[in-house]
Amino acid sequence: MASETSQIAAVLSQMAIENTNPTSPIASVIDTQRLGLLGHSFGGAVGLSVIANKCLPELYLCQEPFTRPKELLAGAFFGANLRNPIANEFVPIANDGIAVALIQGDIDGVALPERDQSTFDQIQTPPKALITVMGANHFGITNVNNPAGANPDRNTATLERAVGIETIARWSALFLRANMLKDRAAFDYIYSQGEALDPNVRVTTVAVPKPSSK
């Protein structure tokens, strides 16, 4: 089953149920007032359309109208863009301050890097980040290159797979921590320190004022 927008509200509703169910293994663990999204490729495009608060049936991202959850605070997406391929137009993303990170392999042959840049330019309000992973292709986040059933990437990654996965995971997690939890150390890493510490990335960010929490 392909990802689509209605799944996000459905998962959030189920998490609220589980959080108040004393027999659930995640009871009283989930903060259902703070929602963050992660996605790869098509799943990332779904996340971007939710942040844009748009149903885009022509892109097969939704099956029915939806409303962006008020709990949504941030999203980090790898190898994803929001483009209408028929009109060859990039969709404006009125994110209303919801934090968005686009993480992109510089040799991605499926979701081309220039399309990621064009999507980044369409994100209307900060905070936002464009994190390019050097030597990663479209499947830099997966356990194997060109998984069965996926549209293959003809470009071969030069970054070691384990390093690529860790890099993408670290930047995604710290971006969410910086913007959802107002984590000061994560904020500093994303917006000022991380690029100098990580030789495998190139980073463009637009931040909001630094959080005061530790």
Q: What is the mean pLDDT of each run of 10 residues along the chain (214 residues)?
A: 81 93 93 96 94 85 85 98 90 97 98 97 97 98 95 97 98 98 97 98 88 56
pLDDT value for 213:
54
How does 191-201 read in b/e, with b if 16+ C-beta sit within 10 Å?
A: beebbeebebb
In the chain, how many H helices and how many E strands?
6, 7
pLDDT at residue number 195: 98
The sign of the torsion formed by the CA atoms of 158, 162, 163, 169 equals positive
Name the E strands within 113-212. Answer: 128-133, 201-206
Strands 35-40 and 72-78: parallel
pLDDT at position 59 is 78
pLDDT in tens, 49-108: 999 998 887 778 887 778 899 999 999 999 999 998 888 899 999 999 999 999 999 999
pLDDT of residue 118: 97
Task: Report pLDDT for 6.
Answer: 84
Tokens 């000022």 sit on residue = 192
In this prediction, residue 194 carries a pLDDT of: 98
Q: Which two tokens stand for residue 8?
A: 């996000």
Residue-level pLDDT at 3: 82
Quick one: three-class SS letters along 37-77? Answer: EEEECHHHHHHHHHHCCCCCHHHCCCCCCCCCCCCEEEEEE
Q: How far is CA 138 from CA 78, 109, 116, 133, 202, in A?
A: 8, 7, 12, 11, 17
